């Protein structure tokens, strides 16, 4: 039950069309459902504004289906399933059918939220190899109701590629900078824009990149103000945070 439905229920109590006892029962039934292998959180939308997101990695298709069915049965209008393998996506049955974004490894059931953000979220990558993580961020942000502009393969090895998009960068509400190797892209963008920059280190790189640790440390040590950092390859976390920033003051 999201905030809007709770407010509607309270208005019915106020008008007398629903009794206090009936309303109390509805609210008691809502917090979570225990499936044994998962406790499905139905109050996530009420607390945070967005229904629980299902993390697909490590779960069987049957577990994902059961969790998703429970969320949809309790009026989750849009369901987001991250780190969803293509093989599992083919086995999931929903109405409306699941839309699968293979590069992002995200499945979406239902329509994306309308674009209600304050402005555009720019998602930029250092290289083409960073695109899967960037797409996870971009699809997450779009599904949650944001306009996303993609700037891919604009890393510091060819700085002119990034500088060609200065107007787009400077017009953003928030920038998600996705890069592996030495992770310098976030610092460069952070020195060019006045909006928040969310840095996403990726595991892309040669041996001394240590699976993304080198980029993570570079981003954490950024000399540019206004740069925050999420975990290695955590495109979802970056897209979700960008959505929150882009909706500040809009609710």
pLDDT, tens digit (0-9, with 9 covering 90-100), for 62-76:
999 998 988 888 767
Q: Identify the structural domains of the chain with CATH numbers, from first to last.
A: 31-109 (no CATH), 120-246 (3.40.50.1970)
* Phi, psi values for residue 150, rounded to 5°: -100, 130
Is the pTM value of this prediction over 0.75? yes
CB 218 within 8 A of CB 180: no
What percent of the chain is helix, strand and coil (3-state, nearest 5)?
Answer: 40, 20, 40
pLDDT recorded at residue 122? 98
- Helices 131-143 & 235-246 angle (0-180, nearest 10): 40
pLDDT recorded at residue 203? 97
DSSP assignment of 48-62 equals: HSSPPPEE-TT--HH
Please, which pLDDT band fits residue 148 given cuts at 50, 70 and 90?
very high
pLDDT recorded at residue 78? 87
> In the structure encoding, which two tokens stand for residue 156, read together?
């510091």
pLDDT at residue 158 greater than cutoff 60 = yes
pLDDT recorded at residue 181? 94
pLDDT at residue 57 greater than cutoff 90 = yes
Half-sphere exposure of 168 (CA within 13 A, CB side): 18
Please, which pLDDT band fits residue 112 given cuts at 50, 70 and 90?
confident
């Amino acid at each position: 039950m999201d905030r809007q439905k709770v407010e509607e229920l309270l208005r019915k109590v106020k008008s007398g069309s629903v009794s206090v006892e009936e309303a109390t029962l509805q609210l008691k039934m809502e917090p979570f459902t225990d499936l044994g292998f998962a406790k499905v959180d139905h109050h996530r939308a009420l607390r945070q504004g967005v229904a629980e997101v299902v993390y697909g990695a490590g779960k069987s298709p049957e577990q994902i289906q059961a969790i998703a069915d429970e969320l949809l049965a309790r009026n989750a209008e849009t369901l987001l399933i991250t780190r969803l393998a293509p093989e599992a996506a083919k086995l999931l049955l929903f109405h409306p059918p699941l839309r699968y974004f293979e590069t992002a490894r995200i499945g979406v059931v239902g329509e994306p939220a309308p674009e209600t953000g304050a402005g555009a979220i720019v998602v930029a990558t250092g290289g083409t190899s960073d695109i899967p993580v960037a797409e996870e961020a971009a699809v997450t942000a779009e599904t949650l109701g944001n306009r996303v502009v993609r700037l891919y393969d604009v890393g510091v090895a060819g700085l002119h590629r990034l500088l060609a998009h200065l107007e787009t960068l400077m017009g953003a509400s928030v920038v998600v900078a996705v890069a592996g190797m030495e992770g310098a892209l976030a610092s460069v963008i952070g020195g060019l824009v006045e909006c928040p920059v969310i840095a996403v280190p990726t595991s892309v790189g040669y041996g001394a990149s240590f699976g993304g640790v080198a980029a993570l440390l570079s981003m954490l040590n950024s000399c540019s103000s206004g740069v925050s950092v999420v975990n290695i390859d955590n495109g979802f976390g970056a897209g979700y945070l960008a959505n929150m920033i882009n909706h500040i003051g809009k609710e």
